[in-house]
Amino acid sequence: MAEQDQRISEVVKREQSRLRNFIRRRVADPRDADDILQDVFYRFVEANRLLMPIDHITGWLFRVARNRIVDLFREKKMASLDDNDAESLSFEELLPASDAGPEEAYMRSVLLDELASAIAALSKEQRDVFVSHELEGRSFKEMSAATGVSVNTLLARKRYAVLRLRERLREVYEELN
């Protein structure tokens, strides 16, 4: 146990400064950055206590830090939204910012690819309504006039499309976490 504690202490001393700088470059609030750093080392100690094999310790620490940073961004974004706000946001506003950093750019790319695939898997009616409303900005009244389909039917199609997309994207979100 003493040998294990010594090894953990050496890793913390060796990696703490680099890891703190990495986190602070991505997280504006120093308290949040310190919380993430502490959580990363807590998880490292926990993994060692459970005898989990970690092949490349530095890479593992930075991967855990990146995941915690992404979690923090998601938590803050969702905490700042109430249910009405979330419903009124476009999908673009819910995606990670494209210029926020490499991790966010990667997540954005994965989510956009999955969104395109999920939209393509919708029925033609659901896809047409979703694309017209969300991507082209057309109103339901305008779509109804152009297609002869009632507004209520268009609303129902959009609702089912959104439910299917949420289900599919939830799976991706869980995989990324």
Task: Tell me whether domains 2-80 and 84-176 share a fold.
Answer: no
Per residue in 64-86, pLDDT tens?
898 888 878 777 665 554 444 44
- Residue 68: count other Cβ atoms within 10 Å of its Cβ: 19
- Alpha-carbon distance 166 to 71, whole Å? 19
Cα–Cα distances (Å) from 33 to 22, 24, 129, 173, in that order, read: 9, 6, 42, 23
Please, are residues 155 and 140 in contact by the beta-carbon 8 Å criterion? yes
- Residue 134: count other Cβ atoms within 10 Å of its Cβ: 17
pTM: 0.46
CATH tag for 2-80 (out of 1.10.10, 1.10.1740, 1.25.40, 3.30.70) = 1.10.1740
User: Where in the chain are the domains?
Assistant: 2-80, 84-176
What pLDDT does 107 receive? 72
In the predicted model, is pLDDT for residue 92 greater than 60?
no
Nearest to 35 by CA among 1, 68, 82: 68
Element spanning 37, H or E? helix 30-49
Domain 84-176 is in which class? mainly alpha
Which residues are CB-contacts of 114 (< 8 A; sequence separation ≥ 6)? 168, 169, 172
Q: Over range 55-61, report the average pLDDT.
A: 83
